[in-house]
């Protein structure tokens, strides 16, 4: 009934009542892949989604692996340098 994508979810988080899956395992190569949407990328870098969207609009982010109805999706490895460069360290 569903599509066979050769991927298996390995991590589930919960936000409100909706489950969020952000890690998948490729069944062909057994490699774990972490996926990030706009919100997750913003959270990982400590920025807001407007900041991330502005950089994406300017072509300063790598091409996403997919664009879904909910938005762009990147592999974390694609955007790790961006996250490290733009991470906001919050003072305690």
36 domain residue, yes or no: yes
Overall domain count for the chain: 1
Q: What is the pLDDT along the chain (92 residues), one digit of tens a residue?
A: 344 444 444 444 444 444 456 777 777 888 888 889 999 999 888 889 999 999 999 998 999 999 999 899 999 888 988 888 888 765 55
Could you tell me the CATH number of the domain that includes residue 78?
1.10.1660
Residue 40 lies in a domain: yes
**Predicted TM-score of the model (pTM):** 0.66
Does residue 67 form part of some domain? yes
User: How many angstroms separate the CA atoms of 50 and 56, rounded?
Assistant: 10
Q: 18: exposed, middle or buried (C-beta count within 10 Å: 0-12, 13-18, 19+)?
A: exposed
Query: Is residue 63 in a domain?
Result: yes
Cβ(9)–Cβ(23) below 8 Å: yes
**Domain contains 12:** yes
Residue 70 lies in a domain: yes
Residue 62 falls inside a structural domain = yes
Range of the domain at 47: 7-86
Give the model's pLDDT for residue 91. Answer: 52
């Amino acid at each position: 009934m569903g599509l066979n994508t050769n991927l298996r979810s390995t991590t589930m988080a919960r936000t409100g009542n909706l489950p969020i899956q952000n890690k998948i395992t490729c069944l062909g190569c057994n490699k774990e892949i972490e996926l990030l949407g706009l919100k997750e990328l913003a959270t990982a870098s400590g920025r807001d989604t407007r900041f991330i969207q502005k950089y994406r609009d300017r072509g300063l982010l790598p091409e996403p692996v997919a664009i879904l109805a909910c938005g762009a999706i990147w592999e974390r490895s694609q955007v790790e340098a961006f996250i490290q460069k733009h991470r906001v360290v919050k003072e305690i």
